[in-house]
Amino acid sequence: MKQTSISEVKLIEIPLIKDIRGNLGVLEGSTVPFKFKRVYYLFDVPSDAYRGAHSHKEQEELLIALSGSFDVVLDDGKEKKRILLNSPRHGLYIPPGIWRELEHFSSAAVCLALNSDVYSEADYIRDYDTFQNSKED
């Protein structure tokens, strides 16, 4: 189990191609600190819903509020941090071994997620006590 900490979570500025016709954000090369193999997105999330509530064993992730806003609550087993994502100009990089919960979705919020691997339930820790124990190993 990777003994990562919240200090390794990073807000990444997404390069923009600005134009009077609108902004174009690009995710390629070294902007994303891992090779992504999967993209998924959350939308139509009720404002009182909680998403996430897991950590990954190996997979890395980048979350972007493509539209609207939501809170990401991060936990490395010792420290917690709440980050409001409210702009498609930034991506939140989350290394493996970090518990995350997503909440307070605004109306029309869209959360885009880039992930370092294809979906594998075996990579998830969905029980908080198991997560805590994995951080104490």
Residue 89 in the binding site for ligand TYD (CB under 6 A): no
Query: What amino acid positions are annotated as catalytic residues?
Result: 54
Which residue, 54 or 57, has its beta carbon nearer to ligand TYD? 54
Q: How far is the CB of 18 from ligand TYD (least distance, A)?
A: 31
Q: Between 99 and 136, name the residue whose CB sits nearer to ligand TYD.
A: 99
Indicate whether 96 belongs to the interface with ligand TYD (CB under 6 A). Answer: no
User: Of residues 15, 40, 41, 120, which one binds ligand TYD by CB under 6 A?
Assistant: 40
Structure-token match 């134009």, residue found: 19
Closer by beta carbon to ligand TYD, 43 or else 119: 119
Which residues of this protein are in contact with ligand TYD, per CB under 6 A? 38, 40, 42, 51-52, 54, 119
